[in-house]
Structure 1
Amino acid sequence: MKIITWNCAMCFREKIDHVLPLNADILVIPECESPAKWKGKDKVKGIHDFLWEDDRYNFNKGLGVFSMNSSFHIERYDPVNEDFRYIVPYKVTGKENFILLAVWAQRASTRYESYIGQVFHAIEYYKDLFKQPCIIVGDWNSNQKFDYIKRVGNHTTVVNMLQTDEIESGYHHFFNEEHGMETKPTHYFWRKKERPFHLDYLFASRSFLERMKHFEVGRYEDWIKLSDHMPVIAEFDVWRKRT
């Protein structure tokens, strides 16, 4: 099973051809446009499930979640808390059954509640879901380096909260790096190579991390003309069910 998250910097329908060769089963795409904008192009591109979260005003920029493989069905896990409307739980069923929490962390009504503050609130609100196998993936707009910014909960706090449920970052598990010490950036501020940050994550339950086959961050040279974010790619062996 391969999962990719990529903040596409809008207009994903014109950029999806760059992602299709990666053969993802599931895509989590912040800054994706409304399905209405695709005008049937989603079916041509082999998309099976296309779920989209919006602010009801901007149909050019929301959170898209896609199944690219008929063996994985995705549906929204209601009810959703509108206080953090771009951090949304889904049920994935088929070859794997798990909770997918898609993340696009943004500004809130106050600086104190923004970005990692939104993730903190969502993790607390949906904590009962994490008793099931889960993957939390997307653009967190966060890093341990920003812990000095006063929020309701900082990056380290959220990482520690998830560890209590044996949920950890796939990147840090695979590359054996510490939070705040990442060597592979996922974002380049103003698209400048000299302004790198690691802001995009895939966290997963222990049962997934034990089956991780590969983890990758897209290269600046390959993606910067398309977005200031690089795709984050994780691949897992599919759980073999007993017969």
Structure 2
Amino acid sequence: MEAELQEKDDWAKIRKTLILSYKYDSNWEDAINLFNKRLQRKFFEPIQHIIKEKKLKGEGFTIVTVQCALIEMFAAFRVGKIFNHNKLSNSPNYEYKESQRMFTSFLNSASIFKDNFWQLNEKNKSEIGRPYNAKDFYKQVRCGLMHEARTKGDWHITATPLTKSVKSEKQFLVTEDGKIKIYRTVLHYRLLDYLREYSVSLRKDAKESEELRKFFARKLDHLFDFKSDLKYDWWTE
């Protein structure tokens, strides 16, 4: 609880310095570091601890459940969307209630999911659903774990074979003996890669990064329970 209160207090101080500009500076760096430290402390470090134990007694279900939560969180941060199960037609445009669309759109576009849920064809254009379908992963894995505490269909969670390097292997999905296997430790390192990539994008001096920082600030406000305040431009639609 103390760490949570400190994070909220830190954001309260940082956000006041960001109100006038989306140009990257030391204040934005403070916000990015706050975000990174929170994710490391609450998610990535606990997962790493579980992985290092090497018990191989079903802990993969815990790991992938958390990873599914991280995937949707990253997807929503990228576009500045806030989940609202009761979203109405007149609700703000920055709200969403269709988790599947948010989740699968991210799987079908983020670089870390290349050759898992999308590939480049001979013309260097993205083709989604190859070799694996993002909607199937959402329904059989994400929803299976979140709602029924299990994976469904042919999807199975497993540790990575010793013949593969979890820190460099790109594909975390493979098919063996009719089973689609999820290498949960490979996915752990790919999500760490995404956090680094996202942080780099937030630091760039470019128009696209300014928009990312706007969305980022809105999401941090929501994360730390700051209500919509039009004094802060990131709450405008």
User: Normalising TM by the smaller chain, what interval?
Assistant: under 0.3
Larger radius of gyration: 2
Larger relative strand fraction: 1
- State the structure with bigger RCO (CA 8 A, min sep 6), 1 or 2: 2
Q: Per residue, is there more helix in 1 or in 2?
A: 2
* Superposition TM-score, scaled by structure 1 size: 0.22
TM-score, normalized by length of structure 2? 0.23
